[in-house]
Amino acid sequence: MAEFLKVMDYRTALQKLQAVTRARPTEIIPLIDSYNRMVAQEITSPEDLPSFSRSTVDGFALFCEDTFGSSESLPAYLELIGEVRMGFEPDFEVKRGQCCWIPTGGMLPSGANAVVMVEYTEMLEQTVLVYRPVSPWENIMQKGEDIKTGSSLFRPGSLLRPQDIGLLASLGVVEIEVYKPYNIGILSTGNEVVPIQQKPIAGQIRDVNTYSIASAVGMCGNRAVTYPIIADNYAELKEAVAKALNDNELVLISGGSSVGVMDITLDVLMSFTDSEMLFHGISVKPGEPTLAVKIGEKLVIGLPGHPVSALMVFYILCLPLLGPISGTSLEAVSSLNIASQAGRDDFIPVKLVEEQGNRFAQPILGKSGLMSIMSFADGYIHINYEKQGILAGEKVIVYLF
């Protein structure tokens, strides 16, 4: 039976994983297929957005100077010279003392520098009475006001969301270069693990980790490949691992990573030719029994069997290898004193609570087998190995799930 090697610190473990992770190939895909795909090359704007100055209201385009001093009792009188049609460039110029009708989104005609809302005007045949002054460029979105040509839009490693795809579509981007998704095999092990459709008997648990880890894999733009549950049987596990290594770039195994009579994962992994132990045990909580083995050019990470530990280890070790270059984080204030052990990195699930204009991070404490912890959490805080805890009222960074 394989025993723990020296427990490794979190940063060294992460560096070892990053060092053996192969460069990711890229591909060019249509924009319509780019949801949740990871950008491979910086995307810059090919044009101004908007590409022309446009009105943000229904009203009249004019010289703002012609409205200065106007009021309900003393309106400005302007000559109506035409109207802007949606989808067409105006073929006239607005001069001093003139105005034209313009709908919301209509292109601003040459000469005009403001739009007055129709609610503050009155039409008398070919004359428009303006009852309120407007300032320069009021009610106008100027050309390039949103985005300038050449502006950086998305950095390599960004995951594209629906709103990002809409932005690129508005700029005429037809296809983009993205990283190819990894195929990631997911194996759940243990005599006690049963399919989720099966009612567990005493001593059994449903296969939670396959579903949560597969979802996390998809969340970061990769492809999860799942396999049937593997019992604590050396031959069966080795056969399953061999197939998963053949099918995938990375294999994640939940369960069987701690030291015990029936924990055979490490023995199986080290039996493969060209296997190299990266670490077995890291100084983190939760997730201390995590292991990693390089087999040829492939990487296998053994996750803890407890659902909270397994998912947290995915976030802190796997996501930096597979996901976007940076996740979303925000600042909050710890609502409680949180104890921690010096020399160990602790990752604490928290719920965000707003009270009297302040944002608090409320720790969700409990055992790593409690299913509700991660579901109720909005994110987690990282207590550095150099600290011995966090005080109530102390500012913390919350890394959002």
Q: Which domains, from first to last, does the chain contain? A: 10-25+181-322 (3.40.980.10), 28-43+152-179 (3.90.105.10), 54-141 (2.170.190.11), 329-400 (2.40.340.10)
Res 262: pLDDT: 42
Alpha helices in 82-232, H assignment, sequence order:
162-170, 208-219
228-247 mean pLDDT: 95
Q: Which residue has the tokens 């969340």?
A: 219
pLDDT in tens, 276-335: 999 999 999 999 999 999 999 999 999 999 999 999 999 999 999 987 766 789 999 999
pLDDT beyond 50 at 11 = yes
pLDDT in tens, 245-282: 999 999 999 986 555 544 689 999 999 999 999 999 99
pLDDT beyond 60 at 348 = yes
How many degrees, rounded to 5, is the angle at CA 278 between CA 289 and CA 258?
20
Residue 11 sits at φ, ψ, to 5 deg, of -65, -40
Least reliable range by pLDDT among 3-7, 13-17, 117-121, 381-385: 3-7
CA distance 90 to 110: 8
Res 6: pLDDT: 73
Residues 328/398, Cβ–Cβ less than 8 Å: no
End-to-end Cα separation, the chain, in angstroms: 36
- β-strand 329-334 against 275-280: which pairing, if any? unpaired
Residues 59/121, Cβ–Cβ less than 8 Å: yes
Res 369: pLDDT: 57
The candidate with the shortest Cα–Cα distance to 350, out of 307, 302, 305, 390, is 390
Q: Per residue in 67-83, is it b (16+ CB within 10 Å) or e — as a string?
A: beebeeeebbebebbbe
pLDDT beyond 50 at 111 = yes
The candidate with the shortest Cα–Cα distance to 280, out of 309, 298, 300, is 300
Three-class SS state of 30? strand
Give CA 182 to chain center in angstroms: 17
Alpha helices in 118-177, H assignment, sequence order:
162-170
Instruction: Supply the DSSP string of 315-331, one letter for each residue.
Output: IIIIHHHHS-SS--EEE
The candidate with the shortest Cα–Cα distance to 332, out of 399, 397, 400, 401, is 397
Residue 141 sits at φ, ψ, to 5 deg, of -100, 115
Q: Measured between alpha carbons, how far is residue 263 from residues 235, 259, 359 in Å? A: 13, 6, 43
Three-class SS state of 182? coil
pLDDT in tens, 65-88: 999 999 999 999 999 999 999 999
Q: Which residue has the tokens 């073929």?
A: 91
Res 365: pLDDT: 80
CA distance 322 to 141: 39
pLDDT beyond 80 at 366 = no
Instruction: Please report which confidence band the pLDDT of residue 219 belongs to, taking 50, 70 and 90 as the band edges.
Output: very high
Residues 396/351, Cβ–Cβ less than 8 Å: no
CA distance 167 to 153: 9
pLDDT beyond 50 at 1 = no
Please provide the average confidence, as pLDDT, over all residues in the chain.
Answer: 93
Q: Measured between alpha carbons, how far is residue 298 from residues 3, 219, 241, 243, 295 in Å? A: 22, 22, 11, 12, 5
Highest mean pLDDT, choosing among 15-24, 97-106, 260-269, 368-377: 97-106
Res 252: pLDDT: 98
Res 207: pLDDT: 95
